[in-house]
């Protein structure tokens, strides 16, 4: 039936989904996973299921392992419920009990107790796992927390360097904060008002529009890379440098989209073609097509969808594939040149940096606000972050 109607094998679809999701099993300790699997397998419910479905035993074991790995990765170091606020303040030289990040600078709002606790939890995660998922409810001050995190990281590195001047040389990297258009004004205002120790710059709009941001420092496209290349990893000022930008700004100014028509080298000669999951109208020539723009978009989601809906007038539809996608794993592609009359099997889309030197810039923190904006694995925003070099993802 599947062959007649061109339906895909559900197992094949499931395997593709697995390749798109994070492999938590690779992060958990194998011995602990085996112990958990053995304990789970002794459950009467599991044994009853295996007795009734012996052919699905391995699938059940895999599900148990993945569930355990997810719990281990997210909860092996659970957030402390009794964080010692005084110890956190001492570590990062925050005044107590005032909880002021900058003791001698007036008009800076102090942190709240739960924000001090968040800092302690975040640095515990950074020391153990290296990355942080900050999921506080709206209104609890996440922006202030990750701004304080940048200042505290700089202080931490400086303190360790001062305590051991003969040790390894301290290294300082700038921070990149990526916002939706709707929140970048608020984020910029928070940094500028309450964190004067940080050098905050905007990679967004143009200098003629600086008044919208209280005459904030704005880097334009021609200045962005040059400014970053001048930052020294041995200068503490680099660790206090923060670039605020938006998803759409990075996309429009720094990313090139390359589209190339192709055929599979081992094309199936019989049977109906598989049901296409996504299609594009057919007007791109067989030669590689490169698209880039510096226009700003009001909404990053609309920006990506607008690109995917770009006008292609021909009625014939061709499936779009993305470089590195699991559906191309193990398959050999033959690119089609200009004038080639072969009917293409698909369009290969690849996202590249317009200037590869940007990929050589090391960021200490990549802070992604409203990260669900980049939820699409093959989408341009998700791909942008893969092209950048960062140490810790927040």
User: b or e along 52-88 (b: 16 or more beta carbons within 10 Å of the residue's beta carbon)?
Assistant: eeeeeeeebeeebbbebbeebbeeeeeeeeebebeeb
Going from N- to C-terminal start, the domains of the chain cover: 2-75, 79-169, 171-394
First-residue to last-residue Cα distance in the chain: 47
How many residues does the structure list for the chain?
394
The CA distance from 391 to 172, in Å, is 11
Q: 3-class secondary structure for 59-119?
A: HHHHHHHHHHHHHHHHHCCCCCCCCCHHHHHHHHCCCCCCCCCCCCCCCCCCCCHHHHHHH
Residue 29: is its pLDDT beyond 90?
A: no
Angle at which helix 113-128 crosses helix 85-92, to 10 degrees, equals: 70
- Please check whether residue 370 is in contact with residue 184, taking contact to mean a CB–CB distance below 8 angstroms: no
pTM: predicted TM-score of the whole model, two decimal places? 0.71
Q: Tens digit of pLDDT for each residue in 270-308?
A: 344 444 445 555 555 565 656 554 444 445 445 555 554
Output DSSP code: residue 356: G
Q: Which of 36-50, 162-176, 179-193, 265-279 has the weakest average pLDDT?
A: 265-279
Q: Tens digit of pLDDT for each residue in 50-95?
A: 888 888 777 777 777 766 666 655 555 555 666 788 999 999 999 9
Q: Tens digit of pLDDT for each residue in 357-381?
A: 999 999 999 999 998 888 887 788 8
Q: How confident is the model at residue 230 (pLDDT cuts 50, 70, 90)?
A: very high
Longest pairwise C-alpha distance within the chain: 77
For the purposes of burial, counting CB atoms within 10 Å of the CB of 275, is it exposed (0-12), middle (13-18) or buried (19 or more)? exposed
The CA distance from 246 to 179, in Å, is 5
């Amino acid at each position: 039936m599947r062959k007649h109607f061109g339906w895909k094998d559900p197992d094949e679809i499931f395997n593709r989904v697995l390749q798109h999701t994070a492999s938590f099993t690779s992060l958990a300790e194998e011995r602990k996973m085996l112990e958990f699997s053995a304990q789970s397998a002794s459950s009467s419910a599991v044994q009853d299921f295996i007795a009734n479905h012996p052919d699905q035993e391995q699938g059940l074991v895999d599900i148990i392992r993945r569930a355990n790995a997810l719990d281990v990765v997210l909860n092996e170091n659970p957030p402390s419920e009794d964080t010692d606020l005084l110890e956190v303040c001492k570590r990062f030289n925050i005044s107590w009990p005032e909880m002021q990040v900058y003791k001698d600078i007036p008009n800076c709002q102090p942190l709240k107790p739960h924000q001090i606790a968040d800092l302690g939890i975040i640095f515990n995660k950074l020391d153990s796992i290296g990355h942080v998922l900050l999921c506080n409810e709206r209104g609890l001050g996440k922006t202030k927390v990750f701004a304080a995190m940048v200042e505290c990281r700089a202080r931490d590195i400086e303190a360790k360097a001062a305590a051991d001047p003969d040790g390894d040389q301290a290294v300082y990297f700038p921070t990149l904060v990526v916002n939706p258009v709707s929140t970048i004004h608020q984020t910029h205002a928070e940094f500028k008002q309450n964190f004067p120790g940080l050098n905050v710059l905007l990679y967004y709009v143009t200098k003629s529009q600086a008044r919208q941001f209280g005459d904030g420092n704005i880097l334009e496209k021609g200045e962005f890379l040059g400014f970053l290349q001048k930052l020294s990893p041995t200068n503490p000022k680099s660790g206090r440098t923060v670039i605020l930008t938006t998803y759409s700004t990075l996309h429009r100014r720094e990313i090139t989209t390359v589209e190339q028509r192709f055929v599979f080298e081992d094309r199936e000669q019989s049977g109906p073609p598989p049901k296409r999951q996504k299609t594009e109208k057919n007007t791109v020539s067989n030669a590689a097509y490169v698209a880039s723009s510096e226009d700003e978009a009001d909404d990053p989601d609309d920006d990506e969808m607008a690109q995917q809906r770009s006008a292609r007038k021909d009625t014939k539809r061709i499936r779009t594939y993305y470089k590195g996608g699991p559906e191309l794993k193990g398959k050999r592609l033959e690119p089609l040149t200009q004038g080639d009359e072969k009917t293409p099997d698909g369009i290969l889309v690849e996202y590249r940096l317009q200037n590869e030197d940007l990929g050589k810039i090391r960021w200490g923190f990549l802070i992604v606000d409203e990260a669900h904006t980049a939820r699409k694995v093959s989408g341009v925003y998700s791909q942008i972050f893969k092209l950048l070099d960062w140490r810790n993802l927040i």
